[in-house]
Amino acid sequence: MFIFQNGEGYSILRTSLPGDDGTPVTSLQIFDHQGAVSIGQASGSVYDLPWDSIKYYASGRKQRRLWLGKKLKTIRCQKKMSQKDLSEKSGISRMQLSRIEANRSIPTVDTVARLARVLRIQPSEFISSRNF
């Protein structure tokens, strides 16, 4: 159950969450300027869940598999940037970039905008189906 500051509450089945491996939840951490929650599991797996995703999954919708991570990595490599370079220029941790590229984390809109700005592309290029 997630309860927002405005009092809205949302209940989500864990089986519908991308990244959840079914092991017990061991930690919850609000981060990214309160734009998402990081969920740690007994298996050692950690995944991030943006607030807008909480509302999305609570409405009963399923994850649409976006290949944003693969696109990010492809574009980053085309620009001849390392994860370290992109991390330093965007202010997003290298660990978070790694999770996004592995499709283990869904980035917030702010994160996508920051990455697009540094890579000098339109944010929509991350979700375009062209070439994938």
pLDDT tens, residue by residue, 42-101: 988 888 777 777 777 777 655 544 578 888 999 999 999 999 999 999 999 888 898 888
Average pLDDT of span 106-130:
83
Nearest Cα to 33, choosing from 103, 124, 114?
Answer: 114
Confidence of residue 132 (pLDDT cuts 50, 70, 90): very low
- List of domains in the chain: 2-58 (no CATH), 68-126 (1.10.260.40)
Any idea what DSSP says for residue 10? Answer: E
Considering Cα of 70, then 116, then 96, then 45, what sign does the dihedral take?
negative
> What is the reported pLDDT for 32?
53
Number of helices and strands in the chain (H, E): 5, 5
